[in-house]
Structure formats: C-alpha cells, structure tokens
Structure 1
Amino acid sequence: MEKLIELLQGVRDDVDFGTCTTLVDEGILDSFDIVEIVNVIDDEYDIEVPAIEIIPENFNSAEAIFNLIQRLLEE
C-alpha cells in the first residue's frame, strides 16, 4: 500500500491519498488524473485495467485502487 501511495503522490502531490475516501465523488480527481493513475498502474504492476473497471467506486480512495490492483493481479 505504501508503494501505491507513493505512485499516487507522483500523479497528484496535493492530495492526501492516505485518508481521503471521496477522491472522485468530490471531484478531487478528474478524468485526466484517473487516466494517469491507470497508466501508472499498468506500468508499475504490469496489468491492464479494463475500461469496465474505470468507475468511481474503484478510484475513490487509495484502498479502493489497491483492492482493484489486487483483484486484477489474481485474475
């Protein structure tokens, strides 16, 4: 999880990814940020995030993103 937080900070260093649980719902992350996060995940974890998984629930918190990564790694 620490590694993921560091990667997310690389995308947006002005966001507290450690505690925020409404990143998409409150408009903290915009669509460009999410595309960047998906690219970072693809590069760092060598997985492809399917378009069907790019939904607010999967990107509202670092924990949700972490769970998405874990799920995709298991598939």
Structure 2
Amino acid sequence: MNDAFDQFWQWREKPPGSRLAISNEIYSAVMSLPEAQRTSREAVNAAVESWSALRSSTTGLFVDSAAALRPSNRRELCRD
C-alpha cells in the first residue's frame, strides 16, 4: 500500500479527466505544509499522521458535546 506521500503525488500528477481521488485528510494535511515541504516524504507523512491524531482527538469532543445536549442528558446535568 502507498503511503500518504505517494497517494498525494499520484493524485497531483494524475492525467486530465482522471477520477483518482485522495481523502480530505491527506489533502488538508499536505496543503497545510509550506509548498517547499510538500516534496518531502517525511514531512508529508508526519503532517498526515498529526492531522489524523488531531481529528480523532477533537471528534470525541464533538460527540461528547452532542450527547450532553440531548434533552435527557440536560436534565441530569442541571440536577444538584
């Protein structure tokens, strides 16, 4: 399997009309790098790994917040 660096460059160099796609996670992580670092395998793979870790840690916050806002949970949170 290709790493994130290979996936990004295959996508970036795809021929016109190709339907090859990459995940939003890879695209966002690579685009957050300065252009000069996008050619570094280590920098790209590290950025995607960091992006993945950040997204997975913040997703839990959104899920927990949504659960706290459910009507049944709000009553429990407001009880003294």
- TM-score (normalizing by structure 2): 0.36
- TM-score (normalizing by structure 1): 0.38
1 or 2 for the larger relative contact order (CA 8 Å, sep ≥6)? 1
Q: Which has the larger radius of gyration?
A: 2
- Compare the two structures and name the one with the higher helix fraction: 2
